[in-house]
């Protein structure tokens, strides 16, 4: 099968199709004009257009299902060339606003949550993606394609930049090479122009890979899925914690090059009667000492067959207030898309059981 053109960085295309400006033109057509066919690349010689069409596919995935939530977020199920499926979510973080005369004050703000693998090897006890096991890594083009297709599907103007969070299915640091390539392709100014500081990599905490990602100096933001403050509980939730314990993760975060104006995000999935107590909040503060951190509390989202339960709103608030009062930034992730199968992995599961 032909490779997808989305798998190539601009530099790679420059080498393949000199002179240099050709790659810029190709990027421009794909990422800014959202073309659907190579023949539409009008300023390219016809011969080159035919050659591209013969050798490459434009998109490595297609939308097979879509669910719209009342809060404006849209969940997508994509099918890959080999029939496997992955999910992405378009989150509308802020609506467009107009003044009294109808003049636009600011555009809507979007974030796309992308998948990095089909399935996942990490096997977290609370995660639906883990249940299906691991199938394969996504290529850089399959990661990039999720954002491109979603922008196209929503007519989001090419100059409207979106933020990216690698919080969909899979463990991004377990697919580091393709992840790094996708980060670079996204950030190309002739392409989607999404600078690395608007891209957040979320990891379950593979300490050695956090170090590697830091050494690559890509300039991305980091989010750690911590979920527990002691190793005993964390091992139960995230088996991989046996190999990469909390201390090793904290150490890796301390060494990670963080943009001076940004913070490392610590995600804390709150599960009823498991980790929602104030004592955990207290220990969390201790763990984060000396780190420019912000904590994001996430409601556990139940699904059929799980023994875990969603925490009460009261315990969420109590946890949050404990941190805030002691000077630790802490937000509660609004249950975006709660009326659509919210957490990643859950739309795909539905599709497979229908």
Residues catalogued as catalytic: 87, 344
| Cα 185 from Cα 218, distance rounded (Å) | 12
Rg over alpha carbons for the chain, rounded to the nearest Å, is 21
281 in Cβ contact with 332 (< 8 Å)? no
| Cα 3 from Cα 192, distance rounded (Å) | 20
Options 171, 267, 276, 349; binder of ligand SF4; rule CB under 6 A: 171
Residues that bind ligand SAH (CB under 6 A): 126-127, 167, 171, 202-204, 225, 267, 269, 298, 300-301, 343-344
Residues between 130 and 159 with contacts to ligand SF4, criterion CB under 6 A? 130
CB of 8 or CB of 300, closer to ligand SAH: 300
How many other C-beta atoms are found inside a 10 Å radius of the C-beta of residue 132?
Answer: 15
Residue of 184, 189, 178 lying closest to 31 (CA atoms): 189
Select the span of 7-15, 36-44, 165-173, 331-339 touching ligand SF4 (CB under 6 A): 165-173
Q: How far is the CB of 75 from ligand SAH (least distance, A)?
A: 13
CB of 138 or CB of 344, closer to ligand SAH: 344
Options 170, 191, 196, 311; binder of ligand SF4; rule CB under 6 A: 170
Select the span of 52-60, 163-171, 207-215, 250-258 touching ligand SF4 (CB under 6 A): 163-171
Which position has the token pair 């991004």? Answer: 172
Q: Which does 167 bind (CB under 5 to 8 A by kind): ligand SF4, ligand SAH, none?
A: ligand SAH
CB of 5 or CB of 74, closer to ligand SAH: 74
CB of 139 or CB of 200, closer to ligand SAH: 200
Q: Does 14 bind ligand SF4 (CB under 6 A)?
A: no
CB of 135 or CB of 344, closer to ligand SAH: 344
Q: How far is the CB of 350 from ligand SAH (least distance, A)?
A: 14
Q: How far is the CB of 85 from ligand SAH (least distance, A)?
A: 16
Q: How far is the CB of 225 from ligand SF4 (least distance, A)?
A: 6
Q: How far is the CB of 165 from ligand SF4 (least distance, A)?
A: 12
- CB neighbour list of residue 238: distance below 8 Å, 6 or more residues apart: 122, 123, 124, 125, 204, 205, 225, 227, 228
Residue of 226, 287, 218 lying closest to 258 (CA atoms): 218
Q: Does 5 bind ligand SF4 (CB under 6 A)?
A: no
CB of 17 or CB of 76, closer to ligand SAH: 76
Q: How far is the CB of 127 from ligand SF4 (least distance, A)?
A: 3
Q: Does 204 bind ligand SF4 (CB under 6 A)?
A: yes
Q: Retrieve residue 187's tokens.
A: 């950030």
Residue 136 preceded by cis peptide, ω within 30: no
Residues between 73 and 132 with contacts to ligand SF4, criterion CB under 6 A? 120, 122-124, 127, 129-130
Strand, coil or helix: what is 280?
helix
- CB neighbour list of residue 27: distance below 8 Å, 6 or more residues apart: 10, 13, 188, 190, 191
Q: Retrieve residue 119's tokens.
A: 């399935």
Residue of 124, 187, 153 lying closest to 59 (CA atoms): 153
Q: Are strands 264-270 and 163-166 parallel, antiparallel or unpaired?
A: unpaired
Instruction: Tell me the CB-side half-sphere exposure of residue 201, using CA atoms within 13 A.
Output: 30
Select the span of 82-90, 167-175, 207-215, 246-254 touching ligand SF4 (CB under 6 A): 167-175
Interface with ligand SF4 by CB under 6 A: which residues? 120, 122-124, 127, 129-130, 169-171, 204
């Amino acid at each position: 099968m032909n490779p997808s053109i989305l798998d190539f960085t601009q530099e790679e295309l420059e080498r393949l199709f000199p002179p240099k400006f050709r790659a810029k033109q190709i990027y421009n057509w794909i990422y800014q004009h959202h073309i659907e066919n190579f023949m539409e690349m009008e300023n390219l010689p016809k011969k080159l257009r035919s050659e591209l069409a013969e050798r490459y596919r434009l998109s490595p995935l297609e939308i097979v299902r879509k669910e719209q939530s009342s809060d404006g977020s849209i969940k997508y199920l994509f099918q890959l060339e080999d029939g496997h499926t992955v999910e992405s979510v378009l989150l509308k973080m802020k609506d467009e606003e107009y003044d009294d005369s109808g003049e636009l004050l600011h555009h809507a703000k979007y974030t796309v949550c992308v998948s990095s693998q089909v399935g996942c090897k990490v096997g977290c006890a609370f995660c639906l993606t883990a249940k299906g096991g691991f199938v394969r890594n996504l290529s850089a083009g399959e990661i990039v394609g999720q954002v491109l297709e979603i922008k196209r599907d929503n007519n989001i103007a090419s100059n409207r930049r979106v933020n990216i969070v690698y919080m969909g299915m899979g463990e991004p640091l377990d697919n580091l090479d393709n992840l790094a390539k996708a980060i670079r392709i996204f950030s190309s100014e002739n392409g989607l122009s999404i600078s690395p500081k608007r891209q957040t990599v979320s990891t379950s905490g593979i300490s050695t890979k956090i170090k590697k990602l830091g050494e690559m100096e890509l300039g991305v933001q980091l989010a750690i899925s911590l979920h527990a403050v002691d190793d005993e509980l964390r091992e139960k939730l995230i088996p991989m914690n046996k190999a990469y314990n909390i201390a090793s993760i904290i150490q890796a975060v301390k060494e990670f090059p963080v943009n001076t104006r940004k913070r490392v995000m610590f995600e804390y999935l709150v599960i009823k009667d498991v980790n929602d107590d104030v004592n955990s909040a207290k220990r969390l503060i201790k763990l984060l000492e000396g780190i420019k951190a912000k904590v994001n509390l996430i409601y556990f989202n139940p699904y059929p067959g799980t023994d875990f339960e969603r925490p009460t709103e009261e315990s969420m608030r109590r946890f949050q207030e404990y941190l805030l009062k002691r000077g630790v930034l802490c937000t509660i992730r609004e249950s975006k898309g709660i009326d659509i199968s919210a957490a990643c992995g859950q739309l795909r599961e539905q599709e497979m059981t229908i």
